Structure 1
Amino acid sequence: MGDRHEIKLAEFLPHCAKQQQPMEMIKSSSLKSKAEVINDLKNKLAVVNDGKEGYLSASEATENPELKSLFKRYSGERIVYAAELNEHIALHGTDAENVSGGIPGGLHRTWLTIKQALSNNEDKAILNAITTGERAAIEQYDACIDNYADHADHLQLLAEQRAGISAALSDIESRIVQQHN
């Protein structure tokens, strides 16, 4: 399924936007209920599943064999991410009913933009739309990671998945730059 993006939590936390605070200012205990934490995980599952579908649709929309292969690989990564999130949701004692996505608010508008780009079958438009989707996904992950006291038991997983999404975004952005040259 491609390279697994290993990340050490101690290396990642300083890169979180809100980690610039003194340690005594960071929450030391969870303020969210179990149901709210499960809901956060289900929202990440929705984001991952929608990314999987987006990449699969992008692979079908492009005629470029290299991009087709790349998009299928990233779709496969999202399948792995979904399985991992399902395991963590199960550890919290519930099933993940939201296996098909269901993007919250702003991400829904992002997904509609990606679908519009796919209908044009233009690689540049597809790549640009994917960057928008990946940036929105990273914001969703950052919200949980920045609030790490609530997500301590799955923080490593979220950080690794965020790193994978970030790597995919960097790859897609570099391909956009290559197309401009």
Structure 2
Amino acid sequence: MSDPSNKLKESEKILKEVIDVLHDGQLGFAHIGEHVKDEQLKRYFLAESLKRASFRGELENELHRDGVHDIKSEGTVSGTLHRTWGDLKAKLGFSDHQLLETAEQGEDAAKKVYADALSQDLPLPVRQLLTEQQSHILTSHDYVKSHRDALVAK
């Protein structure tokens, strides 16, 4: 029989990993939204940044319900490097297409962390929440990818 405290710690670790990637996405989308030239994409990225913040809040609430109150998210090292590279691209005047490539790479990381999390044995409410969030992440990835591809076609 598994130890409930070990299962809780494993669940906490998994949720913190997702929260870190959401933190990366929140900052990355806000940054790209500030630099992309297309107004529709600008609004989309800023809205997605807020959506990532909302997702983080939902997961942090789950951790609070489990008695975890010390939740510090600084994102991931790879996310920080990714944002720095995106910042450099923006400062060098890279195109919307290149910024969308950067966003898609970030979404690939989010897709992976959600898939990894959902492959674990998690409590049903957490699993349902992650599944709903994952659905949005997948749709967002496809949106970014299709707009990136459309810019190539122009």
Task: Give the shorter-chain TM-score range.
Answer: 0.7 to 0.9
Q: Is the 8 A contact 2:101 2:148 kept in 1?
A: yes
Q: Is the 8 A contact 1:86 1:96 kept in 2?
A: no
Distance 1:56 1:151, change over 3 A: same
Q: Verify: 1:97 aligned to 2:71, yes or no.
A: yes
Which position in structure 2 is the counterpart of 1:88?
A: 62
Displacement, 1:113?
Answer: 3.5
Write the mapping of 1:9-158 to structure 2, written as runs, cut at 5 A. Answer: 32-99=6-73, 101-103=74-76, 106-121=78-93, 122-147=95-120, 149-158=121-130
Which of structure 1's runs of 4+ aligned residues deviate more than 4 A?
29-32, 105-109
Q: Is the 8 A contact 1:145 1:155 kept in 2?
A: yes
Write the distance in 2 (CA, Å) between the matches of 1:168 and 1:89: 25
Write the distance in 1 (CA, Å) between the matches of 2:15 and 2:96: 32
Instruction: Give the RMSD, CA atoms, in angstroms.
Output: 2.3
Which position in structure 2 is the counterpart of 1:168?
A: 140
Q: Is the 8 A contact 1:61 1:118 kept in 2?
A: yes
- Structure 2 gaps, min length 5: none
Paired amino acid for 1:88? E
TM-score (norm 1): 0.74
Q: Which has the higher helix share?
A: 2
Which position in structure 2 is the counterpart of 1:179?
A: 151
Q: Is the 8 A contact 1:118 1:125 kept in 2?
A: no
CA deviation string 1:34-77 (max 9, x = no partner): 22211211121111111111111111112321111111111111
TM-score (norm 2): 0.86
Displacement, 1:141?
Answer: 0.8
Q: Percent identity?
A: 21
Q: Is the 8 A contact 1:107 1:133 kept in 2?
A: yes
- Secondary structure in 2 matching 1:57: helix
Write the distance in 2 (CA, Å) between the matches of 1:56 and 1:79: 11
Which position in structure 2 is the counterpart of 1:5?
A: none
Write the distance in 1 (CA, Å) between the matches of 2:146 and 2:129: 26
Q: Is the 8 A contact 1:45 1:98 kept in 2?
A: no
Distance 1:98 1:118, change over 3 A: farther
Displacement, 1:97?
Answer: 2.3
